Structures are given as C-alpha cells and as structure tokens.
C-alpha cells in the first residue's frame, strides 16, 4: 500500500488525576474527544476543533496505543527503514506512563506496561519469526544505546561515569553520538533491563547533579542489523528505532514554540548572547539567497534530523491532560502536534549489496 510519509500524530488524553475529577466536575475539563480523529478544545469565545491521525480518549488501553502507534513502525524497522516514536507533552500529562508504564514497577510483564516494552517484545518476536522462516541464511544483530540531552549536553545513560559526548556524522551511518556505549541485545527482556538501568541512572542523576528528568530529553536507540546470504551475495540491511521521551513541553521555552518574549541581556558580565539568534531570524526572511547559518539547531533536532522531515517513519504521541487548569499547555501541545503533521517524511529502503564473498 502506498501510504503517505507524513509524520503521524497521535493524541492521547489521560484521565484526570484522582481527586481533581471529583472537585472540578465535568466543567473542570478543557476538552472533549469527539471521535477517534477529532478533539474539541473548549476555548473562548469559540471552541477549537483539532484533527489528528488518531485521538485516544481516557479509556484507551496501553495495548491499543501500542497497536496503533508502534506496531507499524517496528514492522518497517524490520524491513530496513528507520523509525522514531516521540512522546511530547507537559509534565504530568502521561508521557512516561504511555512510553514506559506505571512508574513504580520495573516489571516487564505488567499489564499496564507502555509502548517501549511492548515494542521490544514485538521486535524480538518478529526477529525470531524471520529467523525461523529463513533458517541459517539470515542472521540478526541488535544493539542499543541510551542517551540523555540536558542543557544542550549529551550524557550516556549506560555509562554514568561519562559526560559531555559529541554528535558526529558518518557518511554511511548518518548521525551518531561519538563514544556512546552500545550494548548487544539478544532478547526483549535484556533490552528492557538495559532500559530500566539507564532510566535509573537518569533518576540518580537528577538528585546528584541537580537536574530533574523532565528537563532532559532521553533517547533510546536500537540498531537492527540483518544479514542475509543469497547465492553468495551478502545483503546487509540496517535500521534504527529511536524511542524518545522529550522534556516536558513547559520547559522548552527556548525552542521554536516560544512566543514573543524578548531575550534578556542577563547580568553585568554576560554579553548579549542571543543577538545572533535575532540576526539569524532576520536572515531567514532572506529569500532563496545563498546563506550559511552559524547558529545551528539544538542537539536534539540534529540527532533526530532524519526523523523530522528526513528519511524515516515517525510518529509523535502528544500527551495532554484534560484538566481546565492545563488549558494553556494543552493548547500549545495541540498546536505543536498540528504543526508536526505538516512535516513530510520520505522513507527509502536501504539495501547495501556487498559483492561476492566466495
């Protein structure tokens, strides 16, 4: 089937936290889910209707989120495409619940486990099935890395001793984090173990180094490499699956989502460091002329460049909290998700034929 390559946007509404529903009543909700594609935000004076690829209401199960968001992406990953799943939303809107599952359990078999553990299960299920089908002719190699971006610095969550890694590009392999630990995976349970270990590092870091997890982006990357021998020709395919837990959207004041605020000059000793960004914005207006922008995008957008308007299948899960107190954040999350839909992706199979082996 020829499906579009646009980024899929999935909106999930979490149930209001216990207690708030009782006190606020129905009037306390700032939105209503109209259908599986539309959502209405009770804005004044006119309510605003948003349309997405899928809207999940409060009753939606973890299983159904997984099926409609991740299943397809994991499948294409097996076929040599890169795939990315983002979770976006305000802190407390259910990102971690959606991606990981209930926070108090490391239990891989929990019935409420999230998209990530389910993706692991499915990925390894598919690998096993492929292996059985193809016999000894086909082999797989899975590796993973887990990094955190905080304050425009990259930390390796699988090696808590390291700090300050750098992004580099390889002409064959694309963008990668130089020096990040890569762990070989042989099963879903192992993948989950690595993930929870890294996740714990993230939390440890949040107390010892004085930062909180919601201010950082976490990127878990699985590389799936398949090797197939066919009439003495070795066919290697590789693809990436990125699972991204973005910082709470309310913390992203310095990204494009920002409104009209002026950047402050700060205290006496600081120079006017944002001037460059102001000028860059001016140059952006310049039409089709040759230019080179010195101030590049953030580390995150660089790392995920292929996923945003590049060369991958990408899905964004926008998590929102329905409470009326969250109206502003919810509106900005939905606006972000709306914009994301406009980004077009083009996926291409990577077939690297490496001549004769005999």
Partner 1 sequence: MAAGGSGWAAVCEKFRTARTLSVVESRKDPETEPYRSKYSARALLQEVKQLLSAAEEGGEAQLLAVRRAVLEYELGVNHTDTDELSAGEEHLQRCTQLLEPHRLSPDCVSLYIQAQNNLGILWSERDEIKTAQTYLESAEALYNRYMKEDGNPPLDPSEHFMAEEEKLTDQERSKRFEKAYTHTLYYLAQVYQHLEMTEKAAQYCHTTLKRQLEYCGYYPVEWALNAATLSLYYLSKQCFMEARHCLAAANVIFSQAGQVPSAEDNETEQDQQDLRKRKAEIARCWIKYCLNLLQSARKLLEDNIGELDPDRQLELKAQRKKEEDEKEKGRKKAVLFGTSDICDSVLAMEEKVSSVYPLDFQEAREIFLVGQNYVQEAKEFFQVDGYVTDHIEIVQDHSALFKVLAFFEEDYERRCKMHKRRIDMLEPLYGVLNPQYYLLISRQLQFELADTYYEMMDLKVAIGNRLEELDSHTVKKINSLAQLAIKYYELFLDSLRNPHKVFPEKLEEHVLRPAMVAKFHIARLYGKLITSDSKKQLENMQTSLEYYTFLVDYCEKYPDAVRDVETELELSKEMVGLLPTRMERLRAKLCPFI
The binding site for partner 1 (CB under 8 A) comprises: 2, 79-80, 82, 168-175, 178, 210-212, 239, 259-265, 267-268, 271-276, 278-283, 285-287, 289-295, 306, 310-311, 344, 346-350, 352
Q: Which is nearer to partner 1, 161 or 282 (CB)?
A: 282
Q: How far apart are CA 177 and CA 169, in angstroms?
A: 9
Residue 2 or residue 357: which is nearer to partner 1 going by CB? 2
Alpha carbons within 13 A on the beta-carbon side of 302: 16
CB 29 within 8 A of CB 15: no
* CB nearer to partner 1: pick between 176 and 199: 176
Q: Give the nearer residue to partner 1 in terms of CB position, either 63 or 352.
A: 352
Complex with partner 1: residue 125 or 295, whichever CB lies closer: 295
User: Which lies closer to partner 1 via its Cβ, residue 22 or residue 294?
Assistant: 294
CB of 13 to partner 1, least distance (A): 27
Q: How far is the CB of 158 from partner 1 (least distance, A)?
A: 22
CA distance 300 to 255: 11
Q: What's the angle, vertex CA 328, arms to CA 323 and CA 332, rounded to 5? A: 115
Minimum Å gap between C-beta 22 and partner 1 is: 29
- Side by side, which strands form the sheet with 31-33? 31-33, 38-41, 48-51
Integer angstrom CA distances of residue 58 from 51, 213, 296? 17, 25, 39
How many other CB atoms are there within 10 angstroms of residue 343's CB atom? Answer: 16
- Tell the smallest beta-carbon distance from residue 247 to partner 1 (Å): 14
Q: From the CB of 67, what's the least distance to partner 1, in Å?
A: 22
What is d(CA 108, CA 194) in angstroms, rounded to the nearest whole number?
12
At its nearest, how many Å lie between partner 1 and the CB of residue 175?
7
CA-derived radius of gyration, the chain: 22
């Amino acid at each position: 089937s020829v499906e579009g390559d646009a980024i899929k946007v999935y909106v999930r509404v979490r149930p209001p936290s216990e207690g708030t529903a009782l006190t606020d009543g129905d009037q306390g909700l700032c939105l209503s889910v109209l259908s599986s594609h539309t959502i209405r935000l009770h804005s004044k004076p006119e309510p605003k209707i948003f349309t997405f690829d899928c809207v999940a209401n409060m009753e939606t199960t973890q299983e159904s989120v997984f099926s409609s968001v991740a299943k397809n992406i994991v499948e294409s990953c097996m076929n040599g495409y890169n795939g990315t799943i983002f979770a976006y939303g305000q802190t407390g809107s259910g990102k971690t619940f959606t991606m990981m599952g209930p926070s108090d359990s490391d239990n891989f078999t929990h019935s409420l486990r999230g998209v990530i553990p389910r993706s692991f299960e499915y990925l390894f299920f598919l690998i096993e099935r492929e292996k059985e089908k193809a016999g000894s002719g086909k082999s797989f190699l899975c590796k993973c890395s887990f990094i955190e971006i905080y304050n425009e610095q990259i930390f390796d969550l699988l090696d808590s001793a390291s700090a300050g890694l750098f992004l580099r590009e390889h002409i064959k392999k694309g963008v990668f984090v130089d020096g990040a630990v890569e762990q070989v995976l042989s099963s879903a349970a192992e993948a989950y173990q690595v993930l929870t270990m890294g996740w714990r590092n993230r939390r440890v870091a949040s107390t010892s180094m004085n930062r909180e997890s919601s201010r950082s982006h976490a990127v878990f990357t699985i590389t799936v490499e398949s090797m197939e021998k066919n009439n003495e020709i070795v066919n290697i395919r590789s693809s990436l699956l990125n699972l991204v837990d973005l910082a709470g959207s309310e913390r992203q004041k310095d990204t494009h989502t920002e409104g009209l605020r002026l950047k402050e000059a700060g205290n006496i000793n600081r120079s006017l460091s944002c001037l460059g960004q102001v000028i860059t914005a001016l140059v952006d207006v310049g039409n089709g002329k040759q230019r080179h922008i010195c101030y590049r995008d953030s580390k995150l957008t660089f790392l995920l460049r292929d996923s945003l308007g590049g060369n991958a299948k990408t899905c964004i899960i926008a998590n929102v909290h329905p409470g009326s107190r969250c109206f502003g954040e919810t509106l900005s999350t939905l606006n972000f998700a709306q914009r994301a839909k406009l980004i077009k992706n083009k996926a291409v199979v990577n077939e690297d034929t490496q001549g004769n082996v005999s």
